Structure formats: C-alpha cells, structure tokens
Amino acid sequence: MARFTPRQDEQEGLVENQDIRKAGLKVTLPRVKILEILENSEARHVSAEDVYKQLLANDEEIGLATVYRVLTQFEGAGLVERHQFDGGHSVFELNRGTHHDHIVCIRCGKVEEFVDESIEKRQREIATEKGFEIADHSLVIYGECKKENCPNLKE
C-alpha cells in the first residue's frame, strides 16, 4: 500500500494549521491566509494594512476588519507580537520565541532587529542594582538611516 506524503506546499499548510491549533484557535481560511502572509513576508514587521494589501494582491476576499481581528487573536494567543513604534501605528511580527531589540529610522520607518549581549548584561546589572528582577523588557532606538536613495523613504 502506497504511503501518503504531502507535497511541500501541503506540508507548510499543515505546519500553519498546527500553529493555529496549538495557539488554541480554530483553523479558518482567514487565519491560515494571514499566517501565510506573516510567514512569507520579506518584511518581518508588517502593519494590518500591509497584510490587507497583500491579501488583495492575492485575490483573497478578507476584509480589513477581519485582518485586525485575526491579528489581535494571534497576539492574544502568542503567535505574534505587536509593536507601536513612534508614529502611532502598530506593526506585527511572528513570535519566534527569541528576544531581540529594535532600531527604527525616524525618516523612512525601517525597522532593524539586533541582539547585543553587552546591552542585555548591563540591563540585568541595572535591574539588580535597583532591586528588580527583569520579567520582560523592550529596547527601541530611534535614529536616521544613512542610506542614500533609501527604498523605504515615503515621499
């Protein structure tokens, strides 16, 4: 008897469905499509509007309100993290289970991630000196990228 082996795209879909189920959510088409976009996006930090535009480009009939609702559900379930950098709009990134900090360009909005053990160590030292135990923390540095002809600059 032949053994069933899923194709690559079916395997990826199975993983996405398992992620949604593990998060305690029912597997629905909007959730699967939105998770696919988050996993396949070149940008690691995307807004709800970015997700919605990609859905439209893929000819998916999922409304912006549904995108917001699903992203909020994903956040509550721990699948994504929401960030509100200066400028007031939220961006989302998949929760990959590893800590990192961010540096944000105040001109173009580009977000870069970084990890620096010396910064992490100093934060732990400061917390100890002040009588705290760190439960969580977030570091965001704001600056200006120095890229000429920045492709992210919106004019």
What's the Cα-to-Cα distance from 113 to each of 110, 116, 122, 139, 152, rounded to whole Å? 10, 10, 19, 10, 16
Is a pLDDT exceeding 70 seen at residue 91? yes
Contact partners, residue 154, CB within 8 Å, separation at least 6: 108, 109
* CATH code linked to domain 98-155: 3.30.1490.190
DSSP, res 46: B
pLDDT at 5: 36
Fold of 1-95: Arc Repressor Mutant, subunit A (1.10.10)
pLDDT tens for residues 121-142?
999 999 999 999 999 898 999 9
Q: Which of 8-22, 54-68, 110-124 has the lowest mean pLDDT?
A: 8-22
* DSSP 3-state of 100: coil
Q: Where are the domains of the chain?
A: 1-95, 98-155
Q: Which two tokens stand for residue 119?
A: 């910064």
30-87 pLDDT tens trace: 999 999 999 998 888 999 999 999 999 999 999 999 999 999 999 999 899 999 887 6
